[in-house]
């Protein structure tokens, strides 16, 4: 398993795939899965996609992608009767098309608990973004807040704070989508401290400044609500701050319930 920073560097030597290339592969995968009785008995198998393919297919903010990273439906995440033929079919299609071994992967699943998978899939279905629907497999777009959380942390972990990087463009497009859904600016600290991926480091203020500046340059408006950042003395007066800002993420219960639902990122 590569860290986000290391993967960021190594993917430069990987093959980029356009939308038609992904669709061809997914159609072939759906057909290959039809050959297995266990798969067809419980079809369609549900996957959740959070990264580049979501940005390519749905947000249309890039022309190519290196990978389709997914989470398997938690119902089957420990079921070898489903996982074995599923992964075997993926390997078959990868070989037939000559794609990179990592073009379709579940690396991010190592950092997501079963309970979080369940909540993410529920929220994704409510959000209603379907990236691919076949007879044997369906791929949902991840809740946009989680997609943004992962994208911003990837930018931070890479150490490359460059507005021209594709990941920055992806993050801007996701923020724009959330802003248009909610009809108002986002809460900067709310976004920075999204933390379903508890194994990662929380992005710093410099990363958020980069995104704010890049968003203004691209779309001509401020993405974050003025003043939606923590005061400098937050860590010295934590309890006072919490009393004054009850919607801060640190005060929420069942926080993951709100992933992907309107209003979550613009709560002030």
pLDDT digits (tens, 9 = 90+) for 41-64: 999 999 999 999 999 999 999 999
Residue 112's pLDDT band (cuts 50, 70, 90): confident
Average pLDDT over residues 4-16: 55
Element (H, E) at 214: helix 205-219
Question: Could you give the 3-state DSSP secondary structure of residue 208?
Answer: helix
Which pLDDT does position 8 carry in this prediction? 39
Which pLDDT does position 235 carry in this prediction? 38
Average pLDDT, the chain: 85
Per-residue pLDDT of 198-215, as tens digits, reads 667 899 999 999 999 999
Backbone torsion region of residue 136, taken as left when φ is above 0, otherwise alpha when ψ lies between -120 and 50, otherwise beta: alpha
Average pLDDT over residues 128-133: 98
pLDDT above 70 covers a percentage of the chain that reads: 79
């Amino acid at each position: 398993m590569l860290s986000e920073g290391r993967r960021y560097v190594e993917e430069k030597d990987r093959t980029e795939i356009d939308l038609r290339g992904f669709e061809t592969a997914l159609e072939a995968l759906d057909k290959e899965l039809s050959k297995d009785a266990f798969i067809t008995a419980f079809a369609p198998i549900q996957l959740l996609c959070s990264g580049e393919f979501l940005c390519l297919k749905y947000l249309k903010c890039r022309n190519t992608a290196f990978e389709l990273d997914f989470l398997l439906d938690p119902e089957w995440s420990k079921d070898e009767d489903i996982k074995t033929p599923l992964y075997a079919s993926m390997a078959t299609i990868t070989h037939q098309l000559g794609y990179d071994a990592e073009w379709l992967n579940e690396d991010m699943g190592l950092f997501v608990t079963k309970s979080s998978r369940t909540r993410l899939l529920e929220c994704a279905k409510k959000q209603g973004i379907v990236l691919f629907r076949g007879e044997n497999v369906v791929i949902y777009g991840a809740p946009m807040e989680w997609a943004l959380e992962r994208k911003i942390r990837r930018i931070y972990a890479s150490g490359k704070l460059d507005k021209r990087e594709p990941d920055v463009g992806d993050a801007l497009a996701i923020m724009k989508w959330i802003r248009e859904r909610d009809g108002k600016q986002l809460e900067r600290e709310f976004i920075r401290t999204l933390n379903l991926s508890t194994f990662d480091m929380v992005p710093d203020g410099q990363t958020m400044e980069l995104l704010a500046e890049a968003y203004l340059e691209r779309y001509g408006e401020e993405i974050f609500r003025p003043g939606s950042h923590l005061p400098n003395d937050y860590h010295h007066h934590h309890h006072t701050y919490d009393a004054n800002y009850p919607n801060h993420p640190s005060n929420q219960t069942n926080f993951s319930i709100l992933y992907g639902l309107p209003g979550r990122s613009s709560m002030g």
